Structure 1
């Protein structure tokens, strides 16, 4: 008999399949104090949570029988993934369960924004009968710009086209072929800003997407554009949005999320051109049931040794396979994360090459970590180790894997090459005895870098004074340099410099570095 503990409020209708299983005992005990939960967890084979329960390393230390943790939802910030992985505990989530609810909420906000519905309702509640103040616009014939065409963005696009809207879309992994299949036009963020009547964002919140809609983007927009954010607070710069509302650039904004939640004294909420909801995107009866059903089915599959699809950490592997590839897993994911941050443009192809000792191993798990590292940088929690190959295929990205003989320098090595519509970038790594994973090549230039923390990577002309100027700018910004590597192929040609720094570099300093004579490109990479 398997024992499953449900420690947060989760739809019992969604848990019905679990509770009806003849070999499963489900205990529903939401709101347990951490000490009591820790005392009980050793009895259970699986734990189901939402966002309230904190699944810490300390809690997992006492979970001697635990095989799986299920998150009824998408985000897993409340679960110590690394600690679970070390103990062989599979963590699964339910990334698809709230897709329709969030897309429908976005479209409800879009329609309310177009027709001033909340403002008109407030007016009539106050006893007025004012029809002139709330004249709206039709959606038919308007242009909707969607920033982020993942699951939710795609569903929003379908609904917009049903209303007769033209859809522009930006996604770093959106190929022309995929755009044609969906009936949308693939464009840049700046093109969306220039052309769209309505703009909605559907990306995860990352270093790259934080404030991706800010002052420069608002400056490009049509007068009276309407803005929506039902994704993550922080994608739209709230201060810049307020300024754009006040100067008339933005005719209205619909917000379901905020940079600070709940918002405190947020001036946006005082504007009569802003409509808002308290992060309700996934708050439907159906979504709560769906995420419970999805995660419950995954838990049953894991307990019964059947295939499962939404593992957040690596799926279980035979012990001998795991022992052989374990050292390469971290290297693979770090290579993916690195290359995704230095490559620009829409991604079309990924080529992974294994050489030397690693080429003699079962490398499929390593390839999954590489794909997850690449795709999750832009698609966040949508991507896991199990679905990464499927997502790459869905996006029309060609993935190839080759094996070669021993490298002339390294006993084993892994190379990852990305091809985008703006060019090709590559990175290679190996394992050094006693040092662990190392990045040994970036775009063909030899380096020796530990793949961790914040790295500043420049491509520049190999000439005197550049390194000193970059160091001075970083020093003036209070950024300490912990390590430095420079790779070049010839005297006076192009070179690559990698600086390990103690904290992220702010946008102004990055821009100043980019203006140094001889600097061709600069990227701030977080690993």
Structure 2
């Protein structure tokens, strides 16, 4: 089988594919128009998020047997079209769950202990101990929304901090274990101190965590988002910070990550978040470590081998 790789990948992928009996064609700089023109030559495609794999593109790929998404999210892929064509679709949440879990804990610790502000102040010869007094994770209740690979890995990392972890997942039941207690949304609204999001971007979750949703929490909460930015509109987060319903936020993702294309309203809301010491950011790298770069490849190739060569 021939496989077109349209995004930049760790160099380990090519020998892994060849060893599995799949011939890779690595074109990380390819443009969409060229993909459309040559898609009919390949049985497989490996993608990240360069371009939408919609009906226009998939219809050109007449020989396509599989799509491998190097990562977890499938929001750039028209899953219904893929299913109708009986194309195998594999992704690799197992590959970056550990990276994401560690990053999430790191963001919370940085936020709770004012590490970014304290570092900036000390560099400017400001020695303010009282102004940078932190708060502890110990004893806090974490409310997870989404308890798949990412949510479960994050819950496991929190186990050493003495936290109570409640998990809600609309599409999963019976997942309580040593690290997370299955809960309803109402229970999360009552008990959560820190809300952490681990759901994919779908028509159901887009703009789900809005002002109305956030207003339902009994306590003022902290918000951690390492899933998809479009789930939490900038406007809703700003309003919740202004009202005090959200005391602080750690954001690895944003509603619009192409910062030069923000709308006028998004610019206003983004600048408000930027000016706040109670908000910290990272550029969508929570699952993006040197180790996960390789683990993702291993996960994808093992799944493809299972489908085509071990079945």
| TM bucket normalised to smaller | 0.7 to 0.9
Q: Residues 82 and 89 of structure 2 are in contact (CA less than 8 Å); yes or no, is this contact kept in structure 1?
A: yes
Q: Residues 225 and 253 of structure 2 are in contact (CA less than 8 Å); yes or no, is this contact kept in structure 1?
A: yes
Call closer, same or farther: CA 1:216–1:99 in 2, change over 3 Å: closer
1:17 maps to which residue?
Answer: 16
CA offset at residue 268 of structure 1? 1.8
SS at match of 1:5: strand
SS at match of 2:227: coil
Q: Deviations along 1:481-519, whole A, 9 cap, x unmatched?
A: xxxxxxxxxxxxxxxxxxxxxxxxxxxxxxxxxxxxxxx
Call closer, same or farther: CA 1:148–1:19 in 2, change over 3 Å: same
1:8 and 2:7 aligned: yes
2:237 maps to which residue?
Answer: 241
1:504 maps to which residue?
Answer: none
Q: Residues 7 and 48 of structure 1 are in contact (CA less than 8 Å); yes or no, is this contact kept in structure 2?
A: yes
Match of 1:142 among 137, 140, 143: 140
Q: Matches of 1:245 and 1:254 in 2, distance apart? A: 12
Give the number of aligned pairs: 301
Q: Matches of 2:25 and 2:2 in 1, distance apart? A: 8
Call closer, same or farther: CA 1:184–1:50 in 2, change over 3 Å: closer
Q: Matches of 1:56 and 1:243 in 2, distance apart? A: 35
Q: Residues 14 and 291 of structure 1 are in contact (CA less than 8 Å); yes or no, is this contact kept in structure 2?
A: no
Q: Deviations along 1:44-93, whole A, 9 cap, x unmatched?
A: 33222221144454444554543322221233344444554555433322
1:161 maps to which residue?
Answer: 159
Q: Matches of 2:112 and 2:216 in 1, distance apart? A: 22
CA offset at residue 136 of structure 1? 0.4
2:226 maps to which residue?
Answer: 230
Q: Matches of 2:81 and 2:181 in 1, distance apart? A: 43
Structure 2 residue runs of 5 or longer lacking an equivalent are none
Q: CA RMSD in A?
A: 2.8
Match of 2:211 among 207, 210, 214: 214
Q: Matches of 1:86 and 1:206 in 2, distance apart? A: 19
Call closer, same or farther: CA 1:279–1:3 in 2, change over 3 Å: same
TM alignment of 1:355-370, pairs within 5 A: none
1:43 maps to which residue?
Answer: 41
1:195 maps to which residue?
Answer: 191
Q: Residues 145 and 199 of structure 2 are in contact (CA less than 8 Å); yes or no, is this contact kept in structure 1?
A: yes
SS at match of 2:10: coil
Q: Matches of 1:88 and 1:168 in 2, distance apart? A: 37
Q: Matches of 2:144 and 2:120 in 1, distance apart? A: 29
Match of 1:298 among 279, 299, 303: 303
Call closer, same or farther: CA 1:32–1:136 in 2, change over 3 Å: same
SS at match of 1:259: coil
Q: Residues 147 and 167 of structure 2 are in contact (CA less than 8 Å); yes or no, is this contact kept in structure 1?
A: yes
Q: Deviations along 1:125-173, whole A, 9 cap, x unmatched?
A: 3332222211101222222222222222222222222111122232335
1:121 maps to which residue?
Answer: 119
SS at match of 1:149: coil
Q: Residues 145 and 197 of structure 2 are in contact (CA less than 8 Å); yes or no, is this contact kept in structure 1?
A: yes
Call closer, same or farther: CA 1:140–1:129 in 2, change over 3 Å: same
TM alignment of 1:368-407, pairs within 5 A: none
CA offset at residue 254 of structure 1? 0.9
TM-score (norm 1): 0.51
Q: Residues 3 and 25 of structure 1 are in contact (CA less than 8 Å); yes or no, is this contact kept in structure 2?
A: yes
Q: Matches of 2:203 and 2:35 in 1, distance apart? A: 35
Call closer, same or farther: CA 1:14–1:132 in 2, change over 3 Å: farther
CA offset at residue 295 of structure 1? 1.9
2:291 maps to which residue?
Answer: 286
1:276 and 2:267 aligned: no
Match of 1:102 among 100, 104, 123: 100
Q: Residues 230 and 256 of structure 1 are in contact (CA less than 8 Å); yes or no, is this contact kept in structure 2?
A: yes
Q: Matches of 1:298 and 1:190 in 2, distance apart? A: 37
Q: Residues 18 and 300 of structure 1 are in contact (CA less than 8 Å); yes or no, is this contact kept in structure 2?
A: no
SS at match of 1:98: helix
Q: Which has the higher contact order (CA 8 A, sep 6+)?
A: 2
Call closer, same or farther: CA 1:303–1:194 in 2, change over 3 Å: closer
CA offset at residue 303 of structure 1? 4.2
Q: Matches of 1:85 and 1:166 in 2, distance apart? A: 39
Q: Residues 113 and 226 of structure 1 are in contact (CA less than 8 Å); yes or no, is this contact kept in structure 2?
A: no
Q: Which has more radius of gyration?
A: 1
Q: Deviations along 1:441-500, whole A, 9 cap, x unmatched?
A: xxxxxxxxxxxxxxxxxxxxxxxxxxxxxxxxxxxxxxxxxxxxxxxxxxxxxxxxxxxx
Q: Residues 222 and 248 of structure 2 are in contact (CA less than 8 Å); yes or no, is this contact kept in structure 1?
A: yes
SS at match of 1:182: coil
Match of 2:128 among 127, 130, 146: 130
Question: Going by fraction, where is helix more abundant, 1 or 2?
Answer: 2
1:178 maps to which residue?
Answer: 175
CA offset at residue 275 of structure 1? 0.8
